[in-house]
């Protein structure tokens, strides 16, 4: 649950008998109890950046119970394996966010598999290089694939997307595509920079 600045301000307050027993006061009391259980350093982080409910660590990810994979999850897991398996868990979630943001954008296909395989078949004209570079797509590291599969399933099931500011593009730090000069950079995580395409305003 996200904590608001109001809830932080109330963290040192007491809920006395004068407060009416209403759903609002019950919620406030629950917020206060939760905030009091947080260490001072982490509470300061709460004010600067609301929690997403995701710890972005390998240990946290390994503890998550995920349901069986479907076709969309498998497409996303494959993309994460070839695009971000060397990244941290945070970096893998960030790349997954871009793909899921594209699914929601009218400028891209409306399925995970559709987004990932857009342009496939035209050498180096696809959206994700591994799908059209001519190299076989062989998954050799099963441990890495297992990890990105968990990330993929959590994202398909609706995990928060708060790392990249709504980005629909990214590239590694090793390159500088032309579009990166005009798109708004929203985040830099691991070896990737993330971008959002500028919104075009129509004239009346």
Evaluate if residue 166 carries a pLDDT over 90: yes
pLDDT at 134: 78
Residue 98, token pair as written in the block: 């871009």
Tokens 């798109």 map to which residue?
Answer: 183
Evaluate if residue 184 carries a pLDDT over 50: yes
More confident residue, 92 or 37: 92
Mean pLDDT of 145-165: 95
pLDDT at 13: 41
CA dist 92 and 180 (Å) reads 21
Distance (Å) of CA 148 to CA 84, 86, 88: 9, 10, 10
Residue 190, token pair as written in the block: 């691991």
180: left (phi over 0), alpha (psi -120 to 50) or beta: alpha
Evaluate if residue 97 carries a pLDDT over 90: yes
Instruction: Give pLDDT tens digits for 123-137.
Output: 666 888 888 877 888
More confident residue, 158 or 4: 158
Instruction: Give pLDDT tens digits for 12-30.
Output: 444 344 455 666 666 666 6
- Residue spans per domain, the chain: 5-48, 58-196
Q: What confidence category does residue 52 fall into, taking pLDDT thresholds of 50, 70 and 90?
A: low
Q: What percent of the chain has pLDDT over 70?
A: 69
pLDDT at 198: 82
Evaluate if residue 178 carries a pLDDT over 70: yes
Please name the residues in contact with 61: beta carbons below 8 A apart, sequence gap of 6 or more. 55, 89, 147, 150, 151
Mean pLDDT of 80-86: 95
Query: What architecture does CATH give domain 58-196?
Result: Orthogonal Bundle (1.10)
């Amino acid at each position: 649950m996200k904590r608001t600045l109001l809830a932080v301000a109330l963290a040192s307050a007491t809920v006395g008998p004068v407060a009416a027993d209403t759903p609002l006061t019950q919620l406030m009391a629950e917020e206060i109890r939760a905030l009091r259980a947080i260490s001072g350093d982490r509470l300061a982080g709460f004010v600067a950046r609301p929690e997403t409910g995701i710890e972005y660590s390998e240990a946290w990810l390994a503890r998550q119970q995920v349901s069986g994979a479907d076709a969309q999850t498998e497409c996303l897991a494959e993309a994460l394996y070839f695009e971000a398996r060397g990244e941290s868990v945070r970096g893998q979630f960030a790349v997954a966010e871009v793909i899921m943001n594209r699914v929601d954008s009218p400028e891209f296909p409306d399925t995970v598999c559709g987004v990932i395989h857009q342009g496939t078949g035209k050498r180096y004209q696809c959206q994700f290089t591994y799908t059209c570079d001519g190299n076989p797509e062989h998954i050799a590291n099963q441990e890495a694939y297992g990890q990105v599969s968990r990330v993929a399933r959590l994202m398909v099931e609706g995990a928060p997307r708060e790392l990249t500011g709504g980005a629909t593009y990214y590239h590694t730090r090793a390159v500088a595509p032309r579009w990166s000069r005009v798109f708004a950079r929203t985040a830099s995580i691991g070896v990737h920079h993330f971008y959002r395409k500028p919104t075009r305003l129509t004239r009346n």
